[in-house]
A and B are shown apart, each in its own frame.
Chain A
């Protein structure tokens, strides 16, 4: 594996060095992910710990000392006195956690179904692909809202906040799996006809062994591309749902929740509560997406 990674890497690394867009996008992504992972070391305040908040700090303007406490917050504070910078770092954690988990869920589901669909063929294939078609006719948000509604109905009220995040993950994941399934099915159909697969069938390897050990590794590069682009989509989907109030609860706010909270203050002049989380979301989604686009071109030079 490492030699191939090296070969791939060196080729990719070369293309990477020649693409300024990819380099900037990667830098932004690394900075954002890094700062949210190391949030506790970057800010002293944990905005979700009510004990660490000082209501007196509320509505501090960015870069200006608070009129009561004299403390300065780079990006200002919200009504509760939470440091907006800290809420962004912690909010991004939720956004990224939901995004990554949803993509992994979608990937596992989509890749598995795509492999089976492509390799087994026949009725199984038809069935899986029809389900995928149906899935595609529902917009992602609608699917998420549906699942959300169902989940809300069956979980007791006191546990809703806890399950909210998981519902988000499943809802977003379900709306993304089709892409994975289609691409993997296509790649599987191509690989299945190749002689190395026949050589494995010849010695009696089981279909599962052939799918997992032989075909799967050869479908991974398009999967990687889709995963990256899906991550951007998932982060935005999460923000949208949270903005609509059906996503991450206020006790665990994500970037979307922060934007929803922030827009309440927009017209009263506290623009920063909305502006900075929104900009962060934009930067994160955009750079991940650019990275995905670049990766697609780099792994598939013929497409250009």
Chain B
């Protein structure tokens, strides 16, 4: 059994965002493509939490959807436990599907409002046939509800009878019902209040310890990522600009964008540290800047950054895509 559970190699996804044909002709526009994910590679080891952070539009959800097979990749490969995920081969996919699951961002949209909690949680078991017989399924549902901190009496209720945090618990119970090894969590707490977020994050960590789960954890919140992840990948305009061990990334960020993100996090400790001013905004992804896409906002920018595309260079615990790092200027 290899140590690596999920391997993503050169994953790329472009979306066709062209206007309809007639409008293109009238407005004399070319076809337009948006590269939402650009040549992304990473590995997740068994039992660890790999986090992807990035601001909105950086491609986090697109990667999540490709990893679980909800969206085909334009290019690149996804290997789950050494096996290539092939959306087109249904036999191979059924085999793999039962081994991973996903937790979504919105606790309101992720549960079918017309289904009872029992049926919501039982659906994956029924789909994969992991548990047989109504009695066995019911008792497994009760067990799962208990595991996520709800009661067996909640099984007969409908989603609208629960608060956001409780619904997210139900979504977690559904994700666990087919006994997956790997769970993709796309901003699982962004829609929740901090006090509820704390409950859910604690629950997810407990479950990881208890069941030996591996997480791909996606968030825009660096503090949450800091709390959850062993390894972290930072996304900017669809590209992974830096990967590093969690501790290292926060102690010694390399990439100028990572530094900027860390700077921008409000200082709850009230240490009175001065923020260096954050420059600019994320450019339009349809028409990204040439060279290093971060160069218009970068304080370490050099001439070659404007034309050449940086390649990943090794750092103590990972790699960074930056000429300044390569040249030892950072």
A interface residues with partner B (beta carbon < 8 Å): 3-4, 7, 194-196, 198-205, 214, 217-218
Contact = CB atoms under 8 A, between A and B. Distances in A.
B105 interface: yes
Contact of A4 (B90, B98, B158): B158
B127 A199 contact: no
Contact of A203 (B111, B112, B160, B178): B178
A109 to B, nearest CB: 23
A217 B69 CA distance: 26
Contact of A199 (B90, B116, B174): B174
Measured as residues with beta carbon below 8 angstroms from the partner, the interface class of chain B is 20 to 34
10 contacts: A3-B157, A195-B109, A196-B110, A196-B112, A202-B102, A203-B124, A204-B93, A217-B112, A218-B112, A218-B113
A200 B122 CA distance: 12
A194 B158 contact: no
A194 B113 CA distance: 11
B302 interface: no
Main secondary structure of the interface of A (DSSP, over half): helix
Contact of B102 (A3, A199, A204, A214): A199
Given A195-B104, A198-B70, A218-B114, A204 B109 contact: no
Contacts of B65: 198
Contact of A214 (B104, B112, B157): B112
B94 interface: yes
A196 B70 contact: no
The 8 closest A-B pairs by CB, nearest first: A195-B110, A195-B104, A217-B114, A194-B109, A196-B112, A203-B127, A195-B109, A203-B124
Contacts, number: 57
A205 B127 contact: yes
| Highest count of chain A CB atoms <10 Å: which of B90, B105, B114 | B114
Contacts of B70: 198, 201-202
Given A3-B158, A4-B114, A198-B70, 16 more contacts: A3-B156, A4-B158, A7-B160, A195-B104, A198-B65, A202-B70, A202-B97, A202-B101, A203-B98, A203-B101, A203-B124, A203-B128, A204-B90, A204-B97, A217-B114, A218-B113
Nearest to B113: A218
Contact of B109 (A196, A200, A202, A214): A196
Nearest to A200: B123
Contacts of A195: 104-106, 109-110
B240 interface: no
Contacts of A205: 123, 127
A230 B183 CA distance: 47
B227 to A, nearest CB: 24
B68 interface: yes
A194 B110 CA distance: 7
Interface in B70-116: 70, 90, 93-94, 97-98, 101-102, 104-106, 109-114, 116
A194 B111 CA distance: 9
B263 to A, nearest CB: 33
A210 to B, nearest CB: 10
Which of A196, A198, A205 neighbours the largest number of chain B CB atoms within 10 Å of its CB? A196
A202 B69 contact: yes
A198 B109 CA distance: 10
The CB with the most chain A CB atoms within 10 A, among B105, B112, B160, is that of B112
A195 B188 CA distance: 12
A204 B158 contact: no
A196 B170 CA distance: 12
Contacts of A218: 112-114
Contacts of A198: 65, 70, 102, 104
Nearest to A220: B114
A69 B157 CA distance: 66
A218 B102 CA distance: 22
B238 to A, nearest CB: 21
A7 B178 CA distance: 31
Nearest to B171: A199
A200 B109 CA distance: 13
A37 B123 CA distance: 43
